[in-house]
Structure 1
Amino acid sequence: MPIFNGTASAWPTFSFISIPGLETAHIWISIPFCLMYLGALAGNALLLILVRVEQNLHEPQFYFLAMLALTDLGLSMTTMPSVMAIFWFDVHHIGLDACLTQMFFIHTLSSVESGVLVAMAFDRLVAICAPLNYTRILTHCTVACLSGAALVRGVTLLAPLPFFLRTFPFCGDNILSHSYCYYPDMLNLACGDVTFSSVYGLVFVVCTFAVDAIFILVSYIKILGTIMNLETQDRNWRSLQTCACHLCTVLVFYLPLISLAVLHRYTRDTSPILYTIMSNTYLLMTPFLNPLVYSLKSRQIQAALRKRFGVQRVIAGE
């Protein structure tokens, strides 16, 4: 059912925004987007396969990496249909239920990914600060519990959001700021008092991303303190190298997330082009870059690639 200005509907439709001013170039713009999506799907699927078939990768840090790859696959498959539909078929509309479903999976998977990054930080903390107790602490049961806790937390905290939005009527043009359904974006289009829903969204961010970021920061402060107390500089460097992949992944995930959240909460009249760039960076770059980071920085992953596919090292100086 179409939405008309000044009217509200129980079954609204929403319109995705394309790249303003570049509508005629959608086919050409879709090429790098499509390549990056395919790269994200292929790269994360490959990581899952390697962790599954390589005995040398049957360790807690790589189990967490497999969970991260699975989450990135979910994010890519959740967002790719709406993004590519805009570029290829000029389809900009989505129904309320479909939009709420996409929104739920995007935010849930983002929360799960943040939780997995915390688990990976804990893995590095134990490996460097308590190496003799590593195998006793990071058992298969511990890995399963940490991964399961991240999933349960995300689903539990995100489940109310679609129900909150369904209680509001939507009026106006219902034009979304992104190429997918994003909770703060949809909340801005709702009519009525959205104070409680807005506060709940803020509480969710604090209880997930803020708490996770603090835990990761504290973990690395402890890790750096332990590394600085090591006897030799060579051991310091080798210990720090084991954290390089995780640190890169944390930055790739949190920097776009924080930037997008700031744009939504603290800016007005922001350029639509900036919104489009930041939103696609947030959900496209992370799944695309994570496999590259681990393929280029992890010696174990490189060894598994060479063994299975004859891939040579590409890092200069190694």
Structure 2
Amino acid sequence: MKKLAIAISTILLSGAVYADNTSDTTLHNAEGNVVGVIQFSPGTPGNDSNVLIRNSDGNLVGVTQFGNENKAKVRVRNGSHGNVLDIDQDGENNKGVIKARQGSELNNFDVEQDGMNNLGRIVADSSNENDALIEQDGDLNRANIRLMNADNNGPLEIHQDGNSNDSIIYVDGGTNNSAMTSIQGDNNYTETNFMGGSYNTANITISTNASDNEAYVNVFGSNNVKADINIDDSYNNLAAVGQWGDGNSADVDLSMNSNLNEVYVGQFGNDSVATVSLANSSENLIAVAQTNNDIANVTLTNSNSNDVFVVQF
């Protein structure tokens, strides 16, 4: 054992370039296991790690990769419940993917990436009561969370700190799902989409002197969906909420010297409510369009030179 440790230390300290390794782990009818994979990629190409969990509960899986061009994929299926799945990548051009299928529930999914040009993806198909987090620190990263026919999932979170990042949360047919996106930096793009389903919530926050970002919440054929967008101490951003359905609500808040932003809210259905609040923010454009028994509330406090338009049909 000592000889093995000495050999590993010698390789790491020598600066030798080794990579292109593959790790495959499968859990089937297995419970309460701990799986840890650590891979180093000093050069290129990178390493691959694949973990498959089938009909297995209560397992802890952690995949950690250092370097560039690494790929990690963790999959749970066949009714696997209560697993904690984590991918941690440090470097550039890495890809981390977690997928849940076939009634896999009560799992915790986490993808963390530090560096540039990374991709983080979490997918849940016909799987309920899971929570998911993608956290990226750096520039030119992409993050997406996709749910199909899934209920009571959340929070589904994306946190991006950096510039020129993209993120999407997409929920197709499901109820009581909660999506949250946080952006710090410039020139970022984010959208949250709900297709069908009901009683879902979306929250997008842009903060800390962020500028030139675009944030969208789109709701198609969904009822009783709540969309919140918060812009704090940030300027020159675009925020838009589009809701097609009944009983939806949109709440947009601008605060703490958030200037030169554009906010658009469109609600096309019945009995929806739009609330827009500005505090200590100036030179913003606010536009609200609504149809059929809708309510619009716009409040400005200590805010100057803003343009506000409300159109109701």
TM-score norm. by structure 2 comes to 0.18
Structure with more contact order per residue of length (Cα contacts < 8 Å, sep ≥ 6)? 1
**In proportion to residue count, which structure has more helix?**
1
TM-score norm. by structure 1 comes to 0.18
**In proportion to residue count, which structure has more strand?**
2
